[in-house]
Amino acid sequence: MSAVHRPLAGITVVAVEQAVAAPFATRQLADLGARVIKIERPDGGDFARGYDDTVHGQSSYFVWLNRGKESVALDIKQPGDRQLLDAMIEHCDVFVQNLAPGAAERLALDAATLRADRPELIHCSISGYGTEGPYRSKKAYDLLLQCETGLVMSTGTPEVPAKAGFSIADIATGMYAYSGILTALYQRAHTGVGAGLHVAMIDALGEWMSQPAYFGRYGDEPPRRTAARHPSISPYGPYRTADGTVFLAVQHDREWQALCDKVLHRTELKYDSRFVTNTARVHHDAELTVLLEAAFARADCGRVMEWLDAAGVAGARIRTPAELTRHPQLAARDRWRPVSTPGGMISALLPPVETTAGEPVMGAIPELGQHTDDIRTEFGAPRSSTEESAP
């Protein structure tokens, strides 16, 4: 994607960010061509840098979330460093922060303060529980929000609830911050006025949990925990074959009938009162599982997948996360690009939205403070008092 075609070319983002939610939002802005200046603590930086060291000595979280950004190491409580931050904010289009509850206000980095003299600024704050209510001062991390929104009680087995296997609360929040910023940029282009945005993790993941919440509140029973099976659609989930497990998903009665006719070769099951509707199949899921696995026991996974494909019934193989990086469909579509990290090159997945305007930026992962000196020169701010006194 050439510079003239990058949708956010010319947009500057300053982010006092850490962990997952805010960096996920700003990385997507960087992918679209925005200049993202990431403010980090001098003593270790964004604490996501220390989550692990599995990617050429770097954190898998950090390399995922921070490509294409400039890293500036500042102690913003020091006058010189704060002066530099203020100079950057004075020239930026978007300011993003996900500091601890109340910290932005104490540091005069809140929307009301920063937008008082710059109404064109787009200010986005991310919090765990919002600015009002009894939870407003609570710290919030991904697992805790999964608990508070009911996700953990909706996931797992009947005996043991479980968390999602990735940072789903953070990702939901980052996506709403990203879309909110894009909307505010669009609105500003027409009105000249920016916006103060706030995204609470409980609201973001709460939105994603709305269907099971409705089901539990207005239904006769709470959603069931069914491990890898679907709690309200059948057949939908894992089924054993002669050499492993395949997953299949029947969405409506036409697919159920195709499964009976073309895969099971048992036309009579279409009319069996236990299975004739989805509601009936859910109630008799255990019996249906026995029938499916008996039919699949005579073939390996590959053969069963061929049967499902031929019948037009959706199916999938179960893969590990590492196997995703070697998925034949992604390889066939050329979805991986080289990205530089401080420890070496990695293959990074292109963002999901394909555009005829060209490819996203896919910039390098920065070292802590890699761009500090350049930023000081550009914005003409003095060195901090701690740096001036250092030997």
Name the DSSP letter for residue 358.
-
SS3 330: helix
Higher pLDDT residue, 201 or 355? 201
**Would you tell me which CATH number, out of the four given (3.40.50.10540, 3.40.50.150, 2.60.40.350, 3.90.1580.10), belongs to the domain 3-209+335-389?**
3.40.50.10540
Kindly give, in sequence order, each residue whose CB lies less than 8 Å from that of residue 234, ignoring residues fewer than 6 positions away.
250, 278, 281, 282, 284, 285, 288
Q: What is the structure's pLDDT at 391?
A: 35
pLDDT tens-digit map of 29-74: 999 999 999 999 999 999 999 999 999 999 999 999 999 999 999 9
Half-sphere exposure of 270 (CA within 13 A, CB side): 16
**What are residue 130's phi and psi, to 5 degrees?**
90, 180
CA distance 255 to 269: 13
Kindly give, in sequence order, each residue whose CB lies less than 8 Å from that of residue 353, ignoring residues fewer than 6 positions away.
none
pLDDT tens-digit map of 110-119: 999 999 999 9
Domains 3-209+335-389 and 236-319 share a fold: no
pLDDT tens-digit map of 221-265: 777 888 899 988 999 999 999 999 999 999 999 999 999 999 999
Task: Inform me whether the pLDDT recorded for 4 exceeds 70.
Answer: no
Q: What is the structure's pLDDT at 387?
A: 47
CA distance 289 to 241: 12
Candidates 227, 222, 202; CA nearest to 212 is 222
CATH of domain 236-319: 3.30.1540.10
Nearest 5°: the CA angle 45, 43, 30 is: 20
Sheet holding 12-16: strands in order across?
69-73, 35-40, 12-16, 94-97, 122-127, 195-200
**Domain layout of the chain by residue ranges:** 3-209+335-389, 236-319
- The mean per-residue pLDDT over the stretch 115-128 comes to 97
